[in-house]
Amino acid sequence: MPNASAEAFAPATVANLGVGFDILGLALREPGDRVRVEHRDQPGAVITDIEGDGGKLPRDPEKNTACIAANSVLKTLGVSSGVAITLHKHLPLASGLGSSAASAVAAAVAVNALFGEPLTRPELLPACLDGEAAVSGYHADNVGPSLLGGITLITGTSSDQIHNLPVPEGVYLALVTPDVAVPTAEARAVLPKMVNLHDMVAQTGAVARLVDAIYRADVRGLATVMEQDCIIEPARAHLMPKLIEVREAAKRAGALGLVISGAGPTLCAVCDDEKVSELVAAAMKNVYDMVGVQSTARHTRIAVKGAQVLRVNDRESP
C-alpha cells in the first residue's frame, strides 16, 4: 500500500567544471528544487501546481521534466495508480544550475519514497535521465551529481558509468546568476563541430590534471586548471554578460579561479575560505549592479549527499 504523500529535495549542480564538458559535475548544498507527490487512484503523473517558475514551465505531463521522471518511476515499479505533483522551483530556468535535472531528480526520488523506496538511487538514474532528456538531452552531467551528490565523473548514462570522486574539504564556491536566460540548446548550438588536435590534447590533459588535483585535495591547483578550457568557454563566452569583468572582480576579492557553470549564464568561482567566498559573491554581483543587470549571488559548498527525502506521510497520519 503506497503512502499518502512524500516530498523530496534535489540540489542544484555545476556541470563541466570548466574543462570537463559533459563528463564532470558537482552538487551544491543550496539552492535546489522540492517536489511533493500525493497518491491518486488514477494512473499516471499529473501536475497539480508549480510554484516559483513565473508560469513558464509546461503543465503538460509529456513536456514537464518532473512529470516525465515521475511517470518513468511509476512504469519501472509497475504500479497501476498515479501521483499528483506539486513542484517548488527554487532554481531559475536556463541558468546553468541544472534546473531541469533537479526537478526530474526530486520527482523521481519523491515517487520512489511514496512507494516505500523500493529502488536504490542508482536505479532511479534512468527515470531522471528520461526527464532531463525532454529539455537538454540524454546526458548525466547534471542528473548524476544532483541524484548522487558530491563530484561525479560521467563516462556514460548507466549507473556504473558515473563515478564519485573525493570532495576536497577546503573548497568553497561563490556563484552569481545574472538575469539573462541562456537556454541549453542555444549554448550547445554555438559549440564547434570539429576540434583541432592541439586543443584536444590540451583539453584532455587539463581534465587529467583536474582529477589529479581533486584526489590530492589541491584547491588552488584544481581552480587553476578548471580555467584552462580552450574549447567550450571560448565558444560560449559571448553568451555570458561581463564574463571577463566578473572574473577579474572575483580574483581581486580572493577567488582562485572562475568558470561558467554548465551552459551559463551562472558563473562559479572557486575559493579556499568561507569568508572569502562571501566577499567574492558580493564582488561578482557588484559588477552586474554597476551596469544595471539584475543578478543573484550566493556562496555555498559542495553537497556530499545528493537528493534527499524530506518527509513521508503514511495513510494513517493526519
CB-based burial, 117-126: b 16+ in 10 Å, e otherwise: eebebeebbb
Segments making up each domain of the chain, as ranges: 5-165+303-311, 172-300
| Strand ranges, E, within 155-272 | 162-165, 172-178, 257-260, 267-271
Reply yes or no on whether the pLDDT at 72 is more than 80.
yes
Per-residue pLDDT for 315 more than 70?
no
Confidence band, pLDDT 50/70/90 cuts, at residue 25: very high
Mean pLDDT of the chain: 94
User: CA-CA distance, 18 to 230, in Å (whole number)?
Assistant: 9
- The whole-angstrom separation of Cα 109 and Cα 11 is 12
Query: Among residues 184, 224, 266, 300, which one is catalytic?
Result: 184
Q: Is the pLDDT of residue 77 over 60?
A: yes
State how far the Cα of 6 lies from the Cα of 260, in Å rounded to an integer.
34
Rounded CA-CA distance 285/199 in Å is 32
**Residue range 158-174: average pLDDT?**
95
Catalytic residue chosen out of the listed positions 7, 65, 86, 132 = 132
- Mark whether 132 is an active-site residue: yes
At residue 6, the 3 state secondary structure works out as: strand
Contact 90, 34 (CB under 8 A): yes
The length of the chain is 318
pLDDT at 9: 98
CB 155 within 8 A of CB 23: yes
Query: 5-165+303-311 with 172-300: one CATH topology?
Result: no
Q: What is the architecture, at CATH level 2, of domain 172-300?
A: 2-Layer Sandwich (3.30)
Report the candidate in 304, 310, 267 with the shortest Cα–Cα distance to residue 26: 304
- Give the CATH number of domain 5-165+303-311; options: 3.30.1360.30, 2.40.50.140, 3.30.230.10, 3.40.1260.20: 3.30.230.10
Q: Helices 125-136 and 99-114 meet at what angle, rounded to 10?
A: 150
Higher pLDDT, 141 or 254: 254
Q: What is the pLDDT of residues 106-155, one digit of tens each?
A: 999 999 999 999 999 999 999 999 999 887 777 789 999 999 999 999 99
